[in-house]
Structure 1
């Protein structure tokens, strides 16, 4: 009997959809990921469920939207110890399904969904970052339940741990699943990365990151964009260097699959948790880089590559609109495992599209060609050529004609000629969230301001959310 394929799921942190050579960026150097795309399928329009890390990652694992799984902002407060908790406890996850199918599970890197010191069920290997972010040479990792202070370059430390897991798994007959979760290219940027990578960008023109006029909703801290740093050029050098260093680290992990002769029986997926702007639209960051929180494509789109020799075609680029809430069902179907349990909400498998079973331009069954994102009371519906953003309770709302205005420069919400279009998209959005939101977890009335979620939702969501109100004058680091 042929063993099921192994799975390596690689997640970067705050990588914009533009920050990839294979996506057309002529300045950033990502030869490993570019080669992975050449050997697999790259999705040009893949969206996160929320433009901030914790809810985005929760949706990847559950196939649910934040208004169903209850994580609406990056998780703040205690990450380890008795004061912390597993925010996905009692919710079915992709990893639960894999463990039930006999997979041996490993985590190397960022978790940021609570209880980082406690391995989740099914994990035989657990090496997790304590919180949501850290300097690259001063991090606290938890191996099992024990802390380790790491002073070596964190990207390489995470990759080395993943390699050790792959090596150790060769003595077992069961297939493995590896969650390889980097902190790169998340800030801090300047002075954090090896010289061999920063040197590549000292003379870079950064044409792919134009520093536009400050966005009117830009949030600042100490006169710098809240998602960036005071020295913009050094921040750009650091961001690009972080991506290239991560690319090299991924290369070492993939090389290990080849050494063990298991590359042809391993599905490799690469994506980011959420997008990021490095000056595009006049701000740095993702959804919480502005207030009101934004839903620009740079924030809600992410790079996505999947390679599976013998199973998927090579060198294909697809432009269907797909979302992180589709990921669990898709991976399980590719593995020929039951996936219907992750299609009871909005998620639908797009495995057939990846394999080429579905004609180009078709969407997953039973769903219109739209995707949705949310960030607390901010909700978005995105079609191939339109985007509508609704902010509870009072707005401001936005409508963009993406066919005529792909860079989202002209808000048409007050254009009388668009009134019927606004009404139609608002109705579609309202009906979709009415179908998929869960009472007690719905974010429409939550005071989410991009300043962190301290406590999980409970019976009274407004009273239990626990997000500190941020007035723009001070903040902690925004993971």
Structure 2
């Protein structure tokens, strides 16, 4: 008779109690199986491709992430599924191109509370999959996949949730004490150009030509489903909640998605951190650097908690950004890539990506293979062993990194409104503002031109590449659903 091993978790003040029940016959014993790995996703918000020391930027201070990179695999050609926050998250949480289920656009403001706007309940998330595999699952930080009741994180597989539901949030409650804040305004008082000192620690800027979104309107900090007053700087609150989760569930397999809202606007830095960057003359850039420093410090504290609780070697850790940085808005750099957030050029969809998996991947190595955040869910499926409810679009990340030549002809696809792109191996076509005719597409050889400076679409030697990629894009486009909002 087959032996069944049932793992039941009871949450107590001591954490998680595991016990096993063996079926008959009494003489049978469970095989000695290694414990399933924990999964930790550390996702920065709007972090540019070039804004880490390990990515080659000597002007930023990211010592913790740089140290983590030395123990991980740094992927130089990693992509997200959309050039902005919400559809990117829909992609990596479901392991599917979000366009397959109509998730094309990025809801902002009051649209977040639209009862028809959010991640469809029938779409299985990595959290639901792991929850059903016996994992304890948690989300700390930003959700941005629907603010109505049907779309709450706890209805998408998360056992615990601490954070907010919309696209952004101020880092401290009003009146923003102990911080310096940079706020976009449509206009400034007469006589002021570009910037205006509205208070001792408040700067208004008209450089974007519009107001800062009303991030906190109808968007409270929640614990599970209940509003709470959070006085701590929110990056610090995320650290506190994430380390608590790791400590409490150290004897269970767990999945934790740490969704930072740094370095997304509003730009708001702790004054004590800002002092570290006094040599930076531009206050706009100085605030960004301070926010990034606190994000880095948070990552370091979370990783140290893994070490201190003896979970380092049994935890798959992945750190990446949800999309490229919005350079004009926040000063984030995506160099040497072209453009940034919202764009189908490389700066909008290629992101910093670090993965550490002790015993599976070579520490301190660099991978130049094409990887995608779509690969996260299939990687989890590969070690759990049971199939997902739906067909996934990604690949097993470990196999991609270990055998990069196996994905030299990998195809990745993007579309949002009239913007579109497809990458096939070294070749990529981009329609920056319309894709109705071949003349609207640009062609780039990313192996020779990662900055996408040299459009080859009009070159006779490369017309066949353009035609082949257009056929593949059109074939994939026919498979996609109509937008759901």
State TM-score, norm by structure 1: 0.75
Query: Is it true that 1:389 corresponds to 2:389 in the alignment?
Result: no
Who is 1:129 aligned against? 164
Who is 2:406 aligned against? 362
Does the 8 Å contact 1:79/1:112 carry over to 2? no
Does the 8 Å contact 2:86/2:145 carry over to 1? yes
Does the 8 Å contact 1:275/1:299 carry over to 2? yes
Who is 1:453 aligned against? none
Does the 8 Å contact 1:116/1:128 carry over to 2? no
TM superposition shift of 1:406: 2.9
Who is 2:380 aligned against? 331
TM superposition shift of 1:259: 1.9
Who is 1:176 aligned against? 254
Query: Is it true that 1:351 corresponds to 2:405 in the alignment?
Result: no
Alignment of 1:9-408 (within 5 A): 9-76=41-108, 78=110, 83=115, 86-115=118-147, 118=152, 119-138=154-173, 140-170=220-250, 173-189=251-267, 192-204=268-280, 233-278=282-327, 294-333=343-382, 335-338=383-386, 344-354=391-401, 356=402, 358=403, 360-363=404-407, 368-390=409-431, 391-393=434-436, 396-408=440-452
TM superposition shift of 1:306: 1.2
Once the two structures are superposed, residues 36-75 of structure 1 have per-residue CA deviations (whole angstroms, 9 ceiling, x without a partner) of 1111211111001110110000000111112213221212
Does the 8 Å contact 1:104/1:122 carry over to 2? no
Does the 8 Å contact 1:40/1:305 carry over to 2? yes
Once the two structures are superposed, residues 143-176 of structure 1 have per-residue CA deviations (whole angstroms, 9 ceiling, x without a partner) of 1111123342111111111112222224xx4311
State TM-score, norm by structure 2: 0.75
Who is 1:424 aligned against? 468
Q: Which runs of 5+ in 2 are unaligned?
A: 1-31, 174-215
User: Structure 1's 143 and 285: CA in aligned 2 closer, same or farther, altered over 3 A?
Assistant: farther
Q: Distance in 2 between matches of 1:184 and 1:82?
A: 25
Q: Distance in 1 between matches of 2:423 and 2:462?
A: 16
Once the two structures are overlaid, the 10-residue window that deviates more, 396-405 or 25-34, is 396-405
Does the 8 Å contact 2:131/2:137 carry over to 1? yes
Does the 8 Å contact 2:424/2:469 carry over to 1? no
User: Structure 1's 235 and 303: CA in aligned 2 closer, same or farther, altered over 3 A?
Assistant: same
CA RMSD of aligned residues (A): 3.0
TM superposition shift of 1:408: 1.8
Q: Which runs of 5+ in 1 are unaligned?
A: 206-232, 442-456, 458-464, 466-479
Q: Distance in 2 between matches of 1:258 and 1:123?
A: 24
| Count of paired positions | 399
